[in-house]
Structure 1
Amino acid sequence: MRSLTSLSMLIALTCGSLACVSGCAAYRFGSASLFRPGIRTVHVPVVRNDTFRHDLGIRLTEAIVREIETRTPYKVTSDPNADSRLECRVISESKRVLTETGTDDPRGLDAAINVRATWLNRSGEMLMQNAIVPTGDLAIGFSQDSRFVPEAGQSIDTASEAAIQKLASRIVSQMEMRW
C-alpha cells in the first residue's frame, strides 16, 4: 500500500514538472516581457523636421535616444543595419493664445507639436502599431501640447521642451509589446 502511494506521488511529481517545463518554455517575466525578444539594437536617425523651428528635430532625437536607453533593454546604435529602425518626423508645430489680458496681451498660451513615427525591423515589418484605429498607414501620429504663461517667466522654448519630453516618452511607450 505504501509503495503504491509513493509510486503515485512520483508519477504526479513527474507529470507536474513536465507540464511546468513544457508549458512555460516561452514564458518571460519581469520587464523583459514588455519588449520584443528578437530586437536588441535600434537605429534612430535624426528626426526630420518640416517646421520653421530648426532645433525641434535634433531636440526630439536626443530625447528619444535618452528614453530608449533608460527605459528599454534596447541599445541605440548609429549603424543603419541595426535590428530595427525608429524614424520620426515633426510635421507641424503651433502656438495659440488661450487667454488674454484686458489689453489683449497673451496671458496663457498653448504650444503643440505633431509627430509621425514608424518603427520597422530589418525585414520591413511594422513593430509599432496603432491598436485603437488601424489605418493601414505605416506611421503613427503623436500630438503633444504644453501650456505656458509668459507673465510667469515661461516661454515657447520651455513649453516646447516639455512637449518634446512627453512626446519622447509616449513614442518609446509604443515600443512595448501589446498584451
Structure 2
Amino acid sequence: MPKVAVIMGSKSDFPIVEETIKTLKEFDVEVEARVMSAHRTPDISAKFAVDAKEEGFEVIIAAAGKAAHLPGVLAAYTTLPVIGLPIKSSMLDGLDSLLSMVQMPSGVPVATVAINGSKNAALLAIQILSIKYPHLSDRLNSYKREMAEGVFSQDDELQVEVSKL
C-alpha cells in the first residue's frame, strides 16, 4: 500500500492540511500525520527525513507557514519527493511561505503547490505514486473524468440560463 507522510510545522496548520489527508485517504493511500518544526525540533525533523524511506514512506508533504523552512529541511535529508504546502499566515498572506519553498537552492528541490493548496498537494503525491501503483493512475483518470463532467454540467446549465435571456 502506498504511504505518504504529512508533516506540519504546527498543529494550527491542521485545518488546511485536513483536506490533504482526506484526499489521500479517499485514494486509499496510507497517511501518517505529524507535527515537527524546522526551527524548534530540527534534530527530530532531520531524523524523520533520514529514516522516512526505511519507514516505508514514498512521498513527504510538508506544510508550513511564515519562514516555511520545513519542506527544505526535510528535502535536505532525503531523496524522497518532498511537496511543499505553503500555509497562509497573517503576514504577507502566505507569499513569504510560498517564496521560502520555491526558492530552494540548486540540488535540494521541493515541489510546491499553491498557498493553502492542500488538495493539489495530495493529488500531486498521488500522481507521483501512480508511477509505481497503476491502480492510482486508474483512479486519477476517473477523478479527472468526474471533474470534466462537472464542467459539462455547468456548461449545460449556463446554456439554459442564457437561452432564457
State whether TM-score is above 0.5.
no
Answer 1 or 2: which has greater strand percent: 1
Larger radius of gyration: 1
State the TM-score, normalized to the length of structure 2: 0.32
